[in-house]
């Protein structure tokens, strides 16, 4: 196995109170693909920042191989001090990096490079930060929640882009499918320590459960041993006359072991308060349409939602997912067509931006509505402190203002408040944002057992596969199609994910287009992008440079005595030659495709 490019050994860190890290290890070899998992608040981001060299630790060792390049993606990137997004991304390039990649990656992520960082939304800032860390193709990529604020097309593109890099990867994410597709090994940070499994995240949950079951068996053995020792102390014949100092010391040690053992953080306890039974037909939409003064967002759309359906809504940002949700639930009227809501509907909504939370209100008042210390949940009256504990809030947080809560805590608070209200129709707009994997598991189980109807907007493919009975997919140009099953079933039926079908049909294409004249018009209107123009200009020189490098390597490898004199050098040169020839072939293919496109556009 190759020596590590970076390792952390026996890392200890305490911010006050319970230690965050107690002997954590992390080793990253060239080309490795690791996912770092653990509960919210377990210290994953802290460990990644230590690996990036951004924060100090109390005790332990950090090593980075001399010359290795490390790039870190924070959860909240800082773009201040840069005039444009392109300047921000280019500032992250090193002396030997390809300058064109800055503009290329921004273009792929939906940015022009001319944006003012001060005016960017959270999602746009996240995309610019992604371009900055990916552009240099570093030796080590440390990514903290890279899919946050990204829509499905961007997530699927990012998967392919990261998969094509040779960089070693350490990834923190709550997106299961993303972790499964990119990881080759899993590091679990639990109660301050790390455990490593040489398998992808797909095997993590089974492995974790086995470890926790073994711990529980060991804990029960320890408890039985303590009971036996206590019995001896109380009733042993020798003990009545003279205490056996050694056995008393053993008992004290056992008790200390039990006290000091850090137990697994409790699980969220979710109970949904179900309202009166709704009718069999929950929603019926007939030929509805909606626009906001521009191209139609929804047009000629019809659907019948029956009791017990779990509808997932997917599409790129800006496709109109929230607008469609608001139309179906009667929040806004359609421009044309009819929406009929069933009888006895009791709807509870979870909005994606947590906007309905008052930042000045305390956590307890937000849960109870103020003026009471009790919450009615499923017909049962519970004290707010007990209900807070069900969602992993400590009693000390009861008077904490909402503004002081983390993103994950706000997500749990919104769920706690929403699930306490009687309902037979759950409307969830991005409910998985900032939730850890264990909380996601329970949310999925809760939706699966819910007797009412659920409509969910989500970019989490695994979540949709687990809960949805059908998917509403944006096809572009205001058209929406319903597919039976979850997200993977939708992809199978369409033959493509979200991004590809949208790309095949221009946003300004008209219904029924696709004939020869339309194709000609599109070719004439098509222009080479900045990235394509730059590639056409620079690829010939790159191909020549690669050909020269390959020629030099071939000359050195032609030396008949090289292998006998230095087998390691021979192997290194052979590997370099294979890599360079692969890069040259890829560059030639890219140039040929762009040249053919240029000829087509110029007629």
Q: Which residues pair with 484 in a beta bridge?
A: 470
Tell me the backbone φ, ψ of residue 378, rounded to 5 degrees: 55, 35
Residue 322 labeled ligand binder: yes
Residue 41 labeled ligand binder: yes
Residue 431 labeled ligand binder: no
- If you count them, how many residues does the chain have? 603
Residue 372 labeled ligand binder: no
Residue 315 labeled ligand binder: yes
Residue 44 labeled ligand binder: yes
Residue 40 labeled ligand binder: yes
Q: Give the H/E segment covering residue 336.
A: strand 336-341
CA distances from 184 to 145, 187, 195, 297 (A): 18, 10, 15, 40
Residue 389 labeled ligand binder: no
Residue 96 labeled ligand binder: no
8 Å CB contact between 102 and 118: no
Q: Name the token pair of 157.
A: 């593109």
8 Å CB contact between 504 and 527: no
Measured CA to CA, the distance from residue 551 to residue 90 in angstroms comes to: 31
Measured CA to CA, the distance from residue 411 to residue 433 in angstroms comes to: 7
Measured CA to CA, the distance from residue 77 to residue 88 in angstroms comes to: 11
Residue 433 labeled ligand binder: no
Residue 246 labeled ligand binder: no
Residue 307 labeled ligand binder: no
Beta strands in 252-327 (DSSP E): 281-290, 298-306, 310-314
CB atoms within 10 A of CB 239: 15
Surface-to-core class of residue 286, CB atoms within 10 Å of its CB (0-12 exposed, 13-18 middle, 19+ buried): middle
Residues 201, 207, 209, 214: what is their CA dihedral angle, to the nearest 10 degrees? -160
Measured CA to CA, the distance from residue 10 to residue 521 in angstroms comes to: 64
Residue 148 labeled ligand binder: no
Residue 320 labeled ligand binder: yes
Binding residue numbers for ATP: 38-45, 315-322
Binding residue numbers: 38-45, 315-322
């Amino acid at each position: 196995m190759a020596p590590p490019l970076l390792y952390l050994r026996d890392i200890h860190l305490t911010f006050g109170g319970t230690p965050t890290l107690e002997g954590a290890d992390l080793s990253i070899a060239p080309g490795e693909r690791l996912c770092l998992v653990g509960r919210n608040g377990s210290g994953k981001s802290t460990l990644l920042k230590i690996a990036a060299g951004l924060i100090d630790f109390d005790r332990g060792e950090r090593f980075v191989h001399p010359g290795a390049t490390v790039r870190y993606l924070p959860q909240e990137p800082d773009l201040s001090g840069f005039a444009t997004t392109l300047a921000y991304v280019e500032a992250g390039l090193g002396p030997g990096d390809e300058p064109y990649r800055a503009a290329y990656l921004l273009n792929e992520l939906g940015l022009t490079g001319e944006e003012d960082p001060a005016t960017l939304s959270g999602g746009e800032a996240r995309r610019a930060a992604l371009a900055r860390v990916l552009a240099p193709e570093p030796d080590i990529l440390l990514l903290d929640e890279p899919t946050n604020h990204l829509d499905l097309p961007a997530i699927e593109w990012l998967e392919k882009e990261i998969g094509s890099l040779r960089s070693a990867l350490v990834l923190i994410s709550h997106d299961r499918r993303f972790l499964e597709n990119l990881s080759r090994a899993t590091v679990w940070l639990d109660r301050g320590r790390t455990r490593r499994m040489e398998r992808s995240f797909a095997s993590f949950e089974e492995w974790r459960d086995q470890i926790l079951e073994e711990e529980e068996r060991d804990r029960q053995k320890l408890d039985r041993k303590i009971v036996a020792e206590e019995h001896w102390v109380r009733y042993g014949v020798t003990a009545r006359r003279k205490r056996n100092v050694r056995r008393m010391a053993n008992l004290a040690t056992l008790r200390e072991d039990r006290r000091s053992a850090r137990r697994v953080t409790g699980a969220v306890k979710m109970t949904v308060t179900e309202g009166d039974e709704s009718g069999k037909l929950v929603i019926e939409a007939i030929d509805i349409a909606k626009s906001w003064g521009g191209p139609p967002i929804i047009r000629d759309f019809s659907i019948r939602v029956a009791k017990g359906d779990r509808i997932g809504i997917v599409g790129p940002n800006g496709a109109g997912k929230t607008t469609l949700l608001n139309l179906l639930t009667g929040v806004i009227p359609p421009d044309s067509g009819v929406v009929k809501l069933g009888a006895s509907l009791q709807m509870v909504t979870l909005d994606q931006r947590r906007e309905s939370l008052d930042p000045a209100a305390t956590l307890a008042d937000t849960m109870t509505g103020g003026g009471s210390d009790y919450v009615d949940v499923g017909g049962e009256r519970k004290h707010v402190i007990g209900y807070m504990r069900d969602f992993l809030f400590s009693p000390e947080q009861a008077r904490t203002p909402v503004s002081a809560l983390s993103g994950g805590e706000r997500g749990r608070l919104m769920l706690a408040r929403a699930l306490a209200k009687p309902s037979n129709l759950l409307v969830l707009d991005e409910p998985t944002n900032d939730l850890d994997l264990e909380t996601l598991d329970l949310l999925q189980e809760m939706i699966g057992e819910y007797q009412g109807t659920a409509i969910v907007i989500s970019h989490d493919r695994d979540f949709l596969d687990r809960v949805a009975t059908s998917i509403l997919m944006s096809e572009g140009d205001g058209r929406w199609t319903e597919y039976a099953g979850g997200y993977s079933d939708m992809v199978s039926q369409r033959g493509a994910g979200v991004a590809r079908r949208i790309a095949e049909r221009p946003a300004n294409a008209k219904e029924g287009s696709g004939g020869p004249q339309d194709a000609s018009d599109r070719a004439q209107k098509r222009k080479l992008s900045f990235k394509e123009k730059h590639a056409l200009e620079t690829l010939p020189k790159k191909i020549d440079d690669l050909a020269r490098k390959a020629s030099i390597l071939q000359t050195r490898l032609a030396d008949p005595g090289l292998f006998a004199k230095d087998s390691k050098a021979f192997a290194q040169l052979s590997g370099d030659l294979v890599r360079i020839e692969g890069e040259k072939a890829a560059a030639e293919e890219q140039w040929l495709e762009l040249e053919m496109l240029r000829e087509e556009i110029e007629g």
